[in-house]
Amino acid sequence: MANAEVDISTLKRGNEDLPDGNFPSGSGIKEKQRLNNDYRNSVSKIDDEFYSMNYTYNGYLLVFAHEFFEYGALERRPKAEEDIEMLKESFGRLNFVISVEKNRKFREIKKIIEMESQKNFDEYATFAVAISSHGSSNGIAARDAEYNLEDIIEPFKKTQSLIGKPKMFFVGCCRGMLVDNGVSISQDCIQTDGCQVEEYTIPVEADVIIVYATVNGYISYHNNENGSQFFIYLTEALNDYADSKDMLTVLTKANQQLAISFSSRNKDPEKAKKKQCMCFLSTLTRLLKFKVKAEEQA
């Protein structure tokens, strides 16, 4: 599995947007064993406001991009390559090592995840997975079958060299078939509503952020020229703000631009002027702010 080279490209939005197709909604709550592992693998101290970036690399990004499918009536996603290029540009600028996997079958994905979760990530401040594919309310599409996001996330929660470090998961696919028609808002609308300890324990579920392309049950859109709207707005926000803002602020900026600026364009009037917004879940215990490479800041 070779690391992909960083290739900076200029991307323009095209003129038509198409749907890209959740966590499984299974009955009952699966009992999980929560192991309070010692928090020894991070330079971050107990009362630090920010995650430590004192590592060789800001992070490691594993990309699963799917263009072709062998089951159901799933259409080809010819612009999956554009999602890869956007991610390589943005995360390469942020000093991430990037590995790309294309059109993998579910069995292959499981094997890759098993191998990656057993790696030593001592040189990396963070870890990330980005998925570009079709999806539904039941899961994410591999080349030959559907799988659950938990199949990706769970192994990395127990990776020793990632304990206490941010683990990010970017899920670029549909989560259902609902469409968002949007709602008008007026300009004058008003919104309401010490001791240094080196060893301590944290929940297994801590330090994870999951970023979905859309809200549960809804369609997400990809552009017929330049890839997923989710990755377009995410990478633009990373390019514009990652050197000055923390990650949750960057995500909020991305969501703001996607929610306000994007409306689907389609020759079919019934599919045009639809809206999309991201959804993210965070158990981060500190602020996450990347160090940008000196040559990029110059």
pLDDT digits (tens, 9 = 90+) for 52-101: 999 999 999 999 999 999 998 999 998 899 999 999 999 999 999 999 99
Query: Regarding beta strands 208-212 and 167-172, do their DSSP bridges make them parallel or antiparallel, or are they unpaired?
Result: parallel
Q: Is residue 190 part of a domain?
A: no
Q: Is residue 20 part of a domain?
A: no
Element (H, E) at 40: none
Q: Is residue 81 part of a domain?
A: yes
Q: Quick check: 266 pLDDT over 90?
A: no
Asked about 222 being catalytic, the answer comes back as no
CA distance 229 to 234: 8
CA distance 163 to 240: 29
Question: Between 266 and 147, where is the model more confident?
Answer: 147
Residue type, 95: N
Domain that holds residue 160: 35-180+202-297
* CATH number of the structural domain spanning residue 251: 3.40.50.1460
With a pLDDT cut of 70, the percent of the chain lying above it is 78
CA distance 132 to 6: 18
Q: How confident is the model at residue 179 (pLDDT cuts 50, 70, 90)?
A: confident
Q: Is residue 196 part of a domain?
A: no
Q: Quick check: 25 pLDDT over 60?
A: no
Tell me which of 66, 134, 222, 277 is the catalytic residue.
Answer: 134
Tell me which of 66, 173, 174, 277 is the catalytic residue.
Answer: 174
Asked about 174 being catalytic, the answer comes back as yes
DSSP state of 151: H
